[in-house]
Amino acid sequence: MATLNSLKQALKQTALTESLFSKKPLSDAQYSAGFGILAKGSAYQDFIAPQLSQLITNLLTSRTHISVLEIGPGSQTVLRHLPIRLRQKIKRYTAFEPINLFATSLEEWFRSTSSLPSLEGPPDIHQVPFTLNSNMGIYGAERFDLVLFCHSMYGMKPDHQFIEKALGVLVERPEGGIVVVFHRGGVLKFDGLMCHATASFPTGVVSVADDDEVLDCFAQFTAGFTINDTAIRVAWRGVCRTLGNRDEADPSRLWFSAPEIMVAFNRHATMLPELAALMPAGRDADMVKNRQARLHQTASTLKPTNIPQIQQCVRWALAHGASLTVLGGGHSGHCLWPNIIAVDMSAFDNVHVLTAGEDGDLDPIVIAEAGCNTGDIIRQAMTAGLTVPLGARPSVGAGLWLQGGIGHLARLHGLACDAIVGAVVVGVESGAAFCVGRVPRQHWPAGATRPENESELLWAIKGAGTNFGIVVSVTFRAFVAPTYSTRDWVIPLNDKTEARSRLGQFDELVAKKLPRNCSADAYLFWDAGQLRLGVTMFESSTTGTMINTPASTTAAEVEAVLGPAGSSATVDGVGLFESEMYMSEMHGGHGGGKTSAFKRCMFLKNIGEAAMAHELISALETRPSPFCYLHLLHGGGAVGDVVADATAFGCRDWEFACVITGVWPRDQDGAGAAQAAIRWVYAVAADLSPLCCGAYGADLGPDPRDLPFASRAFGPNRSRLARLKHNFDPQNVLAYACPLPRAAEEQRSGRVIVVVTGESCAGKDYCAATWVSLFTEQHLTARAVSISDTTKREYAVATGADLDRLLGDRAYKEQHRPALTAFFQEQVKRRPRLPEEHFLHVVNSATDVDVLFITGMRDEAPVATFSHLLPDSRLLEVRIEAGEAMRQTRRGCRGVDDTADLNGNSGNTGSSNAAGSDHRPSFIFQNDTTGTGAAKCFAGKHLLPFFHEELKQLAKMVSSAPDFPRPGIEFRHVLNIAQQPGGLALCASLLRAHFTGEWAKIDAVVCCEAGGYVFASALALVVNVPLVLIREGGKLPPPIVAVVKSPSHISSSGLSSGSGEKSIEMGRDMIPRGSSVVVVDDVLATGRTLCAMLQLLGEAGVKAEDVSVMAVAEFPVHRGRELLRRRSFGKVNIQSLLVFGGV
Ligand SMILES: Cc1cc2nc3c(=O)[nH]c(=O)nc-3n(C[C@H](O)[C@H](O)[C@H](O)COP(=O)(O)OP(=O)(O)OC[C@H]3O[C@@H](n4cnc5c(N)ncnc54)[C@H](O)[C@@H]3O)c2cc1C
């Protein structure tokens, strides 16, 4: 899709070559008509309004109202797109709008609407341009909290002087006023100015009707002038039609890409020279490897030469509300970012090799400073006969080992980050220098200390290390340097069927069979008009014995599958760099070295499986340029030996890292071909996403298209990383590194996921849709998804069935049901964790919602089974039930439900699912009436309360203590609620209100010491129900009932002095047989205490069905519900007021 900028250039070019007539400026009417077309683009709703809302919300933390100066608003202010809660905060509005027509309409618009309801006076609209001499108010003394240039800097040159002028009219008290620019396409040069925040919207589009008159209007507005010449008008229409994209669904419109940027400046924007004077300038942009990064004009690139200078950068950024990027090897697109200061680490380029025993420890280590690259480290280590498991290219820098590091030794020794045992870091919270882990004394910088949360910092550096500080050096564990033998195959593939079968053979018969010291990378690429599968086998050996030689048995087996190898070599660690197939064999060695590339990497398993192979092969068919390819790096082995939460790098369970590589000719950098290749990479990554088991964070940056992949980059470590980012980088100094789930995670921590279950035709999809609309009306984001769609997709690929009909045509779906079920069951046999994978895929694809409704899921006891996978979210099951007659009626209606699940349960039986089940859903909704009323009423009563303010208030009363009782654990002090003013009363009232049963039918509130006593007593008082106290063994006089209890979560985590088995007891006659009781506890974690209490109640004659449990806080990660179900307490109704991630 051509950008508006390239359209502009093409239009100008046409006018030059085809006309002798002179250009004329646009009249107001012409300008207004063109502006109207662009204003309908997606940017206002999807980018400008959310960004502006965020900025204004921040401004409002220091003031109650704001005044706004808007430059060139057009006929309506952009502020109209803001939510009313923010518009209400605007008390003064001033505008400079030079176009009379617009200024008059703007005045008229203000008269006819009350869009800014709190204005203290009429808007002050100046019908003149904003110039460097413009005076604001009487004697130029008027000041504003927000100055806004929205698409209005055209013609204001030099840009930076206009920004400086705008900075001059910001209020001085309270501080924090901002100047904000929204700009479409093109580059703005704010020479020497440093910005406070930036954002981009690369996916913005504008569409225009393919109609002569409309195109005339659009073309002259885009070109910026008009020419009274029919031939030019006709030629311009042709240019628009040639460059515009058409959508098959609506071919009557032309689409153009219209990327946007937002840049915000605060009053410190001009202070950069102060910092720049303290240290040398860094690398010129054209010395940076990544060619996308070269296009990003930084505010300044500085090159500290010692640690105090790095500290100066950090402290300066903290003092001035600035962000920093760090420039390591320069291979990412975001090491330089427009208008941001880059800290170039190239002065830190030493490598120190300490052989065994030198620092008093037995293992050899390599200390690499952060300005080194992979080649430097390998070469230096080899001089001592050592190596470090790094990546495949010598020029790649610290970003690799801080964020993972996948190389040919990964299967044997793990990732590069796994080899990190220590580091020197300048923290970005205060600029202090820290040593973490193993840093030999002689390498301790002066003044460095060990941070309090040292183990957390080291944990975070191993996989997410670009987000927590500026790393000065790392200590690697070193290994004996091996010799490598390599062999290559390039196999032409005649068609898709052959391609699939070859990939399958490679996976099953070669890759999966290799020992750990061998790895086999695959490449899918087109060359000379044919799809090819390239394979390179790498074998490392420290003894000289290789299997990768033509003579060995393994080599013969591999050749039986792949055919005779093309080339082979034996090399050392440095020679290995030249053995990469894309460097030597493919496309004449990377397009003859005159290409640029863009990559994103997804983690895959079973690449030979039909759906996966199909997706990989199909991806190449859509490649926008001939050199685009997929590189599959072999993983498994030692990578998966490390448990997912042992380091921040949380994606461990994969066999191949698929690097989707978009390549374009170098002279097209920044132009259409580059954009097309980048779009292709993102599209392929999105298509692979449902099949993949994670994404590689090392490539991801601030481009908003990276967010969905970043949300899958850290496996189960997301929330811990979000918390650590908040602790280690509270001001977001490193705002442009791999996006951690900071804001998104905060939202997710309150996310509610509702699994909607029930029999066929009970109305599951209908109810889910109704509830989505109810939540949307309440200004919450909600979505409903069917979990079986993923399987349908894979089934369609494997069998050639029509996916659209499978998704939407009920009869067709029924026809395929048996085969689809068999397909799913077969898949589960091969991939037992498939239900879990599908579940995670669905929830991870919806990180942006407050409430997600999942239908089509029939896994037994979904809450007990899956909640530990989403420890920050509240997982609920709502079972929909309806009488047979009602279900029969609904059976006739299309689109009521996806009739049956894929576990083979036909949807057509009438018997209740609930009866035979060994678990109890969170709620049951009896859906026996028509219309949405009852469903809305149910959700209003039972689901909406999870978003009520009181619950948030209660959550805030739970204080947390990091690293208590031992490092890595964040202790949540739930009992602290009782120590807060009003806390106990609030908690008791919420327990009463959230209880799904009837208090009138409850005979006792039961609790165990100590936390349970506090909350249960308060509740018992409120609901006027007798209290029954369970005590530790030996504390009560007979007669008693007693059971043995294994240690609770608290005792086993080291919080209590006691450990081992204990008993609990209660008076034997405290609860009459057959009573209904509510058990109250402060925390539900492992469920062991609860199990013992339920057992005790059983001994006393209380049936599990007659027990409800109410916990104040639940920690799903400990799988308490699963334990209860295993111990036959699945039928117990369990509710928790609060849900917390972490341990
Ligand atoms: C040609 C090529 C080959 C590649 N090969 C491999 C491979 O074999 N294996 C593999 O795993 N990956 C590979 N990658 C991906 C690579 O790991 C990432 O692109 C990585 O981020 C590059 O790190 P860098 O230091 O070279 O780049 P940079 O762009 O300088 O840095 C990347 C990120 O790290 C941050 N950063 C850098 N230094 C520091 C520091 N000292 N402190 C804090 N943050 C810092 C930067 O701010 C940036 O966010 C390759 C990439 C390319 C382009």
Report the separation in Å between the CA atom of 291 and the middle of ligand 1, taken as the mean of its atom positions.
Answer: 14
pLDDT, residue 1062, reads 83
Residue 342 has pLDDT above 60, yes or no: yes
pLDDT, residue 905, reads 47
Dihedral over alpha carbons 913, 915, 918, 922 (to 10 degrees)? 70
List pLDDT tens digits, range 1053-1092. 444 444 556 889 999 889 998 899 999 999 999 999 999 9
Residue 837 has pLDDT above 90, yes or no: no
pLDDT, residue 745, reads 46
Burial class (CB in 10 A: 0-12, 13-18, 19+), 579: buried
Residue owning the nearest CA to atom 53 of ligand 1 = 331
Cα distances from 899 to residues 755, 757, 788, 907, in angstroms, run 16, 11, 11, 5
Strands 1107-1114 and 1133-1139: parallel
Question: Looking at residue 481, what DSSP letter applies?
Answer: P
Report the separation in Å between the CA atom of 334 and the middle of ligand 1, taken as the mean of its atom positions.
Answer: 10
Lowest average pLDDT, out of 733-737, 915-919, 1012-1016, goes to 915-919
Cα distances from 1093 to residues 995, 1087, 1104, in angstroms, run 19, 10, 11
Contact 1129, 875 (CB under 8 A): no
pLDDT, residue 469, reads 98
Contact 508, 483 (CB under 8 A): no
List pLDDT tens digits, range 752-808. 999 999 988 889 999 999 999 999 888 788 899 988 887 887 788 788 888 888 887
Residue 661 has pLDDT above 70, yes or no: yes
331 lines ligand 1 (CB under 6 A): yes
Report the separation in Å between the CA atom of 405 and the middle of ligand 1, taken as the mean of its atom positions.
Answer: 9
Helix (H) or strand (E) holding 662, with range, is strand 656-665
471 lines ligand 1 (CB under 6 A): yes
pLDDT, residue 371, reads 98
Report the separation in Å between the CA atom of 368 and the middle of ligand 1, taken as the mean of its atom positions.
Answer: 15
List pLDDT tens digits, range 691-735. 888 999 999 999 999 988 998 899 888 878 888 898 899 899 999
- High-pLDDT (> 70) share of the chain, %: 92
* 31 Cβ contact partners less than 8 Å away, ≥ 6 residues apart: 99, 221
Helix/strand/coil for 35: helix
391 lines ligand 1 (CB under 6 A): yes
pLDDT, residue 557, reads 85
Cα distances from 1011 to residues 250, 976, 1089, in angstroms, run 63, 10, 12
Question: Mutate which of 396, 521, 728 to test ligand 1's pocket (most atoms within 8 Å of Cβ)?
Answer: 396
Question: Mutate which of 283, 311, 313, 331 to test ligand 1's pocket (most atoms within 8 Å of Cβ)?
Answer: 331
699 lines ligand 1 (CB under 6 A): yes
Contact 600, 687 (CB under 8 A): no
Report the separation in Å between the CA atom of 624 and the middle of ligand 1, taken as the mean of its atom positions.
Answer: 25
735 lines ligand 1 (CB under 6 A): no
409 lines ligand 1 (CB under 6 A): no
More confident residue, 160 or 794: 160
DSSP string, 1035-1066: SSPSSEEEEEE---HHHHTT-SS--S-EEEEE
702 lines ligand 1 (CB under 6 A): no
282 lines ligand 1 (CB under 6 A): no
Alpha helices of 549-646 — where are they, by DSSP H? 553-562, 573-576, 581-584, 587-590, 610-621, 638-641
329 lines ligand 1 (CB under 6 A): yes
Stretch 193-219: mean pLDDT, rounded?
A: 93
- High-pLDDT (> 90) share of the chain, %: 61
Report the separation in Å between the CA atom of 488 and the middle of ligand 1, taken as the mean of its atom positions.
Answer: 27
Cα distances from 28 to residues 73, 75, 104, 127, in angstroms, run 14, 11, 12, 13
DSSP string, 1078-1102: EEEEEEESSSHHHHHHHHHHHHTT-
Distance CA 203, CA 705 (A): 8
Q: CA nearest 921: which of 960, 880, 884?
A: 880
On the question of a cis peptide bond just before residue 1010, with omega within 30 degrees of 0, the verdict is: yes
Report the separation in Å between the CA atom of 462 and the middle of ligand 1, taken as the mean of its atom positions.
Answer: 14
Q: Which of 15-29, 563-577, 837-851 has the highest mean pLDDT?
A: 563-577
pLDDT, residue 41, reads 73
Q: CA nearest 960: which of 609, 627, 720?
A: 720
Burial class (CB in 10 A: 0-12, 13-18, 19+), 528: exposed
423 lines ligand 1 (CB under 6 A): no
Residue owning the nearest CA to atom 34 of ligand 1 = 399
pLDDT, residue 790, reads 78
Backbone angles phi, psi at 723, to 5 degrees: -65, -45
Atom of ligand 1 nearest to the CA of 470: 42
* CA end-to-end distance (rounded Å), the chain: 48
Atom of ligand 1 nearest to the CA of 329: 26
Report the separation in Å between the CA atom of 335 and the middle of ligand 1, taken as the mean of its atom positions.
Answer: 9
Q: CA nearest 328: which of 859, 737, 882?
A: 737
Report the separation in Å between the CA atom of 698 and the middle of ligand 1, taken as the mean of its atom positions.
Answer: 6
Report the separation in Å between the CA atom of 411 and the middle of ligand 1, taken as the mean of its atom positions.
Answer: 20
Report the separation in Å between the CA atom of 282 and the middle of ligand 1, taken as the mean of its atom positions.
Answer: 18
User: Tokens at residue 687, please?
Assistant: 């298509």
Stretch 457-471: mean pLDDT, rounded?
A: 97
Residue owning the nearest CA to atom 4 of ligand 1 = 393
Stretch 384-395: mean pLDDT, rounded?
A: 96
Helix (H) or strand (E) holding 434, with range, is strand 433-437
* 668 Cβ contact partners less than 8 Å away, ≥ 6 residues apart: 596, 674
Distance CA 135, CA 509 (A): 77
Report the separation in Å between the CA atom of 739 and the middle of ligand 1, taken as the mean of its atom positions.
Answer: 14
Residue 582 has pLDDT above 80, yes or no: no
List pLDDT tens digits, range 477-530. 999 999 999 999 999 999 989 999 999 999 999 999 999 999 999 999 999 899
pLDDT, residue 647, reads 95
Average pLDDT, the chain: 89
Distance CA 852, CA 412 (A): 41
737 lines ligand 1 (CB under 6 A): yes
370 lines ligand 1 (CB under 6 A): yes
Distance CA 863, CA 755 (A): 8
405 lines ligand 1 (CB under 6 A): yes
1036 lines ligand 1 (CB under 6 A): no
Residue 817 has pLDDT above 90, yes or no: no
Stretch 1110-1133: mean pLDDT, rounded?
A: 92
Distance CA 606, CA 1065 (A): 53
pLDDT, residue 846, reads 74
In angstroms and rounded to an integer, the radius of gyration of the C-alpha atoms of the chain is 32
Report the separation in Å between the CA atom of 389 and the middle of ligand 1, taken as the mean of its atom positions.
Answer: 15
Report the separation in Å between the CA atom of 353 and the middle of ligand 1, taken as the mean of its atom positions.
Answer: 22
Stretch 1088-1114: mean pLDDT, rounded?
A: 94
Question: Mutate which of 400, 425, 599, 629 to test ligand 1's pocket (most atoms within 8 Å of Cβ)?
Answer: 400
Q: CA nearest 96: which of 78, 74, 81, 79?
A: 74
Residue 276 has pLDDT above 50, yes or no: yes
On the question of a cis peptide bond just before residue 730, with omega within 30 degrees of 0, the verdict is: no
